Chains A and B, each alone.
Chain A
């Protein structure tokens, strides 16, 4: 964003003001500036003079920024309760996404592979068939959810100009949970018995298991934070106050 209020907007976001309030404030100030400039122009001033006078009447960037920053109710939830936004919310989202993925897996198993002991069968019909599409969708949601959550966290952090601590914490937490998650499937040993899918969380019992899980977590973190890291590298230096 360019114009006289780009600095103000950055300052508001860095102070933790919710993006929607910062955006609206800047927009209304821009309208107000246009009105003041027109008013000053009617007094016979040149456009440059009129705009300069209008900016003076509107108030300094410091005054305009502090007027909003002093009011805590305009702060974003990511600043007010980062533990909820970067701790609880990602876990809740992950739980919902995994529930959907496992439901798809369970439904596909019982509908398309009623005889199979496991839904992780090697042959699940033609590659373009509905069976395959069903299983691949479930798999995509299951494996993609942690990375998607990480992207959302990164996007929020970038949008709200947050420091890296909480976003990295949230992404790491999601990655650790994702690496510890294990899906188990079993079928009742009777004719057309119903299949059961359960989920457990374990870091394994051996050093090898733990290192494998950590490697998986590292992979998830790397993929999840990549867009955020690129944004931080490309971002202009923060404003000094």
Chain B
């Protein structure tokens, strides 16, 4: 059977996409990121409060994010920001998600597949 790209899981890559998008313009720490995603998506998308960190660490390990420790109001926190590599990855993820969303929108608008037989 010829190889064909599939969408194995629609939610695959969503946390990465949202995190990269959020951090594109400002650095944030984990708690801020989770709050921000919840606020901006009106709680439609909620990333597990604790499980955001493996995603962040994975992105950092891949070179898409960088982190630095910063002391704010007497508390030391790890702030994350996007690297140039992360911007490239964001563009790729955004592109694939936009085309996926457009395809789904088209389906939902009622495009009928006439003459299937």
- How big is the B interface, by class? 10 to 19
Residue of A nearest to B76 (CB): A31
The answer on a CB contact under 8 Å between B54 and A71 is yes
A49 within 8 A of B: no
Give Cα A13–Cα B53 distance, bound, in whole angstroms.
Answer: 17
B49 touches A74 (CB 8 A): no
A17 to chain B, nearest CB (A): 10
Decide if B49 touches A36 in the complex (CB within 8 Å).
yes
- Known A31-B77, A73-B58; contact A64-B50, beta-carbon cutoff 8 A: yes
Question: Given the complex, which residues of B lie within 8 Å of A25, measured CB to CB?
Answer: 53-54, 57
Q: Mark B68-99, 1 if CB is under 8 A from A, else 0.
A: 00000001011000000000000000000000
Assess the A29–B75 pair: CB atoms within 8 A.
Answer: no
Whether the Cβ atoms of A36 and B31 lie closer than 8 Å is yes
By the criterion CB–CB under 8 Å, are B50 and A29 in contact? Answer: yes
Q: Does A163 contact B (CB under 8 A)?
A: no
In the complex, are the beta carbons of A31 and B49 less than 8 A apart?
no
Residue-wise interface mask of A (176-190) relative to B, using a CB-CB cutoff of 8 A (1 in contact, 0 not)? 000000000000000
Q: Which residue of A lies closest to B31 (CB)?
A: A35
Given A25-B57, A73-B61, A74-B57: A32 in contact with B75 (beta carbons within 8 A)? no
Complex CA distance for A71 and B58, rounded to whole angstroms: 8
Is B44 in contact with chain A by the CB < 8 A criterion? no
Closest Cβ of chain A: how far from B72's Cβ, in Å? 11
| Contact status A64-B31, CB under 8 Å | no
Q: How far is it, in angstroms, between the C-alpha of A29 and the C-alpha of B34 when the chains are bound?
A: 12
The 7 closest A-B pairs by CB, nearest first: A67-B51, A59-B50, A35-B31, A58-B50, A64-B50, A67-B54, A58-B49
Query: B61, A31: Cβ atoms under 8 Å?
Result: no
Could you say which residues of chain B place their CB within 8 Å of the CB of A74? Answer: 54, 57-58, 61
Residues of A within 8 A of B54 (CB): 25, 67-68, 71, 74
Bound form: Cα–Cα A64–B58 in Å: 15
**B15 CB → nearest A CB, Å:** 11
A59 contacts B51, CB within 8 Å? Answer: yes
Bound: A206/B47 CA distance, A: 69
Shortest distance between the CB of A133 and any CB in chain B (Å): 43
Interface residues on A, range: 20 to 34
27 contacts between A and B (CB under 8 A): A21-B57, A24-B78, A25-B54, A28-B30, A29-B50, A29-B53, A31-B31, A31-B75, A31-B77, A32-B30, A32-B31, A32-B49, A32-B50, A34-B75, A58-B49, A59-B48, A59-B49, A59-B51, A63-B50, A67-B50, A67-B51, A67-B53, A67-B54, A68-B53, A68-B54, A73-B58, A73-B61
Chain A CB within 10 A, most for which of B48, B53, B75: B53
B 20-40 contacts with A by CB, 8 A: 29-31, 34
**Of B30, B50, B61, most A-chain CB atoms within 10 Å:** B50
A74 to B29, CA, bound (A): 20
Which residues of A70-87 have CB atoms within 8 Å of chain B's CB atoms? 71, 73-74
Residues of B within 8 A of A24 (CB): 57, 78
C-alpha spacing A29/B77, complex, angstroms: 11
Q: With an 8 A cutoff between CB atoms, is A159 at the interface? A: no
